[in-house]
Amino acid sequence: MTGSDFTWLQCMPCIRCFDQGDLDYLHTDFNWGLHAVDCRSIQCIHIVNPSVTEVFCEAGDCQCKYMIEYSDDSTSAGDVFQTLLRLQTSAGDYVLFPSFIFGCSRETRGDFSAVSSGIVGLGRAPASMVSQLYNYIDGKFAYCLVPLGQDVVSEMRFGPIAVVSGPDVIYTPMIATYPTSYNYHILMEGITVGDVYVPYLSGNTIANTIIDCGTTVTRLPPRLYSFLEEQVARQLDRLYRRGDEAILGTLLQANFMVSYDLQRRQIAFKKMNCANLD
Q: Give a yes or no: residue 179 inside a domain.
A: yes
Q: How many folded domains does the chain comprise? A: 2
Same domain, 39 and 73: yes
Q: Give a yes or no: residue 64 inside a domain.
A: yes
Predicted confidence at residue 203, as pLDDT, reads: 61
Tens of pLDDT, residues 92-133: 888 899 899 999 999 999 877 777 889 999 988 899 999 999
**38, 62 in Cβ contact below 8 A?**
yes
**69, 8 in Cβ contact below 8 A?**
no
Say which residue, 84 or 31, is predicted with more confidence.
84
Q: Give a yes or no: residue 116 inside a domain.
A: yes
Please report, as a single letter, which amino acid is at residue 188: M
Q: Is the pTM of the predicted complex or chain greater than 0.85?
A: no
Range of the domain at 93: 8-132
What is the distance between the alpha carbons of residues 123 and 213, in angstroms, rounded to a whole number? 10
Q: Which of 250, 257, 255, 258 is nearest to 217 (CA)?
A: 250
Q: Give a yes or no: residue 111 inside a domain.
A: yes
Give the residue from 132, 164, 179 where a domain finishes: 132
Say which residue, 140 or 151, is predicted with more confidence.
140
Q: What is the CATH number of the domain that holds 170?
A: 2.40.70.10
Same domain, 188 and 105: no
Give the residue from 91, 112, 132 where a domain finishes: 132
Quick one: pLDDT band at residue 235, thresholds 50, 70, 90? very low
Same domain, 14 and 127: yes
> DSSP letter string over the chain?
-TT-S--EEEEES-SB----TTSPPEEGGG-TT-EEPBTTSHIIIIIIGGGSSEEE--TT--B-EEEEE-TTS-EEEEEEEEEEEEEE-TTS-EEEEEEEEEEEEEEEES---TT-SEE---SSSTTSHHHHTHHHHTTEEEEEPPPTT--S--EEEEGGGG---STT-EEEE-B--TTT--S-EE---EEEETTEEEE---S-SS--EEE-TT-SS-B--HHHHHHHHHHHHHHHTTS----SSEEE-HHHHTTEEEEEETTTTEEEEEE--TTS--
Tens of pLDDT, residues 149-180: 777 888 888 988 899 989 999 998 888 765 55
Predicted confidence at residue 134, as pLDDT, reads: 92
**37, 55 in Cβ contact below 8 A?**
no
Q: Give a yes or no: residue 138 inside a domain.
A: no
Query: Where does residue 42 rank: exposed (0-12), middle (13-18), buried (19+ CB within 10 A)?
Result: exposed
Same domain, 127 and 153: no
- Say yes or no to pLDDT of 198 above 80: no
Task: Name which of 71-75, 187-191, 242-246 the model is least confident about.
Answer: 242-246
Q: Give a yes or no: residue 24 inside a domain.
A: yes
- Say yes or no to pLDDT of 81 above 90: yes
Same domain, 184 and 127: no
**122, 141 in Cβ contact below 8 A?**
yes
Same domain, 205 and 123: no
Same domain, 122 and 237: no
Query: Where does residue 220 rank: exposed (0-12), middle (13-18), buried (19+ CB within 10 A)?
Result: buried
